[in-house]
Amino acid sequence: MLLVLVLGAASLTSCRRARASWHRRTALGRAEAAVAVARINRGRADYLRYCALCHGREAQGYAADHANALGNQDFLAIASSAFLRGAIASGRPGTPMSAWSQRRGGPLDDRQINGIVAYLRSLARRPLLAVSARPSAGDPVAGQRVWTERCVTCHGARGQGSAIATSVTSPEFLRSVRDGYLRHTITHGRAGTPMAGFAQLGSRAIDDLVAFIRSAEHVPGPPPPPTYEPPPGLDRLVINPTGRPPEFRLREGRFVPADQVAQALAQGRRMVILDARATSDWSTGHIAGALPFPFYNIDQMAGQLPHDGTWILAYCACPHAASGHVVDELRRRDFPHTAVIDEGWSYWTAHHLPTAHAAIVPAP
Ligand code: HEC
Ligand code: HEC
């Protein structure tokens, strides 16, 4: 066994060395390497524009909310390119992680997503492990007991995630990982994050935990999303253009409570509401009257905003990483009547305030 490992490691290293020297030696090899470097650089530029707000400039995680450490070596050791592509394209509905693919109403085409994946994979210092596909033979009821003792404080009663940890039972996540991915993470943890390794529980209990996490898959998930019309531009930006201005009382000079906004809307007051999330989130549901103004497009869109003292409000779901960024940038550009809608989208929907969604393209 050991011999196989040693031989395997040796052949991997020598294979890499041979490849590296081939790259240096031949013109074709140098061209191929240059293309790979260019793709990684492009991916890093897109990463900084679209992802760093939450996942951090160095992919260290936790710049906003519980956006996990994408550059973590224990994560990259098991996060394949296909897994990353799927997570980026479809997001994790119900969390601040948006769907980023154009197919889902987001801003990124396949080439950009592949570039970001190449950049993230380039941060890995260890080769990708082929995690086992062996399904857990554990007992979900026993697993739930361990879960309640050891995991619930961070991941929630059903693994739905919390302000400190990712969800582990979202249908998109469970569909895209093998049981070996779950076993590996539970056993080894993620060094440098709050996720400790639980090897001391023993492989039986870990299998029970995997069975418990998998049992969430049998709860029927939401129906597949419809196709939405592309998001509109910023024409007809002002809500109630002939209305009187609202009288907002801001908290800490920057937050306006959602109830004040709802009341001002009901009274027909004049204002602009910007949805600072990715456009895919605007499509699936937004505050009635709000237009998409994603945090990564401020430079392109700020020039279209009214510069006449009209109140401009921004919101997101994170709960104010993206909206706070938009308001900071607008104030820097001399828009003083700006505010973040406090608690954003989650408060708005929890209190059943008026919402709308993009037009749905009829199924063929
Ligand atoms: C508004 C904040 C935000 C932005 C911007 C954002 N993410 Fe996320 N992302 C999150 C959060 C929060 C999670 C955890 C979701 C959960 O609970 O499952 C997450 C999860 C992920 C995951 C899944 C990790 C796993 O193990 O399941 C990947 C991969 C990811 N993000 C990549 C990206 C990339 C690439 C971008 C840029 C294109 C991006 N994210 C932009 C907040 C964000
Ligand atoms: C102290 C808080 C904490 C506790 C307790 C905890 N976790 Fe985690 N867990 C996290 C965090 C934070 C992450 C994401 C780390 C990262 O990659 O940035 C995570 C990641 C995971 C993942 C991978 C999710 C993904 O998207 O890739 C699994 C699976 C998981 N935990 C299972 C468990 C199980 C099972 C237990 C109990 C035995 C447990 N965790 C206990 C905080 C915790």
In a domain, 185, yes or no: yes
Helix or strand (DSSP H, E) at 50: helix 27-50
In a domain, 57, yes or no: yes
Q: How far is CA 128 from the centre of its chain?
A: 22
Q: For ligand 1, what atom is nearest to the CA of residue 278?
A: 5
The pTM score is 0.89
In a domain, 101, yes or no: yes
Domain end (from 164, 191, 218): 218
Look up the domain containing 302 and give its range.
255-356
Number of domains in the chain: 3
Q: Would you say how long the chain is, in residues?
A: 364
Pocket test for ligand 1, best of 54, 97, 297 (most atoms within 8 A of CB): 97
Pocket test for ligand 2, best of 195, 200, 209, 210 (most atoms within 8 A of CB): 195
CATH of the domain at 329: 3.40.250.10
Q: Which residue, by CA, sits nearest to atom 32 of ligand 1?
A: 88
The candidate with the shortest Cα–Cα distance to 96, out of 162, 190, 185, is 162
pLDDT tens track, the chain, 364 positions: 444 444 444 444 555 666 666 667 788 888 888 989 999 999 999 999 999 999 999 999 999 989 999 999 999 999 999 999 999 999 998 889 999 999 889 999 999 999 999 999 999 999 999 999 899 999 999 999 999 999 999 999 999 998 899 999 998 899 999 999 999 999 999 999 999 999 999 999 999 999 999 998 876 666 777 888 888 888 789 999 999 999 999 999 999 999 999 999 999 999 999 999 999 999 999 999 999 999 999 999 999 999 999 999 999 997 899 999 999 999 999 999 999 999 999 999 999 999 999 988 887 7
In a domain, 68, yes or no: yes
Tell me how crowded residue 305 is: count the other CB atoms within 10 A of its CB: 20
In a domain, 231, yes or no: no
Domain end (from 194, 218, 242): 218
The candidate with the shortest Cα–Cα distance to 206, out of 185, 230, 235, is 185
DSSP for 175-196, written as a single string: HH--HHHHHHHHHH--TTSS--
Domain end (from 162, 197, 218): 218
Instruction: Please tell me the number of Cα atoms within 13 Å of 328 on its side-chain side.
Output: 7
**Burial track 249-275 (b if 16+ CB lie within 10 A, e otherwise):** eeeeebbbbbebbbebbeeebbbbbbb
Ligand closest to Cα of 165 equals 2
The candidate with the shortest Cα–Cα distance to 324, out of 310, 343, 300, is 343
Determine contact, residues 183/136, Cβ cutoff 8 Å.
Answer: yes
d(CA 139, CA 123): 37
Q: For residue 43, what are its two tokens? A: 């991916």
The verdict on 266 and 349 lying in the same domain is: yes
Within 8 A by CB and 6+ apart from 5, the residues are none
The verdict on 116 and 188 lying in the same domain is: no
d(CA 172, CA 180): 17
d(CA 214, CA 136): 9
Residues pairing with 313 in the sheet: 273, 339
The verdict on 48 and 109 lying in the same domain is: yes
CATH of the domain at 197: 1.10.760.10
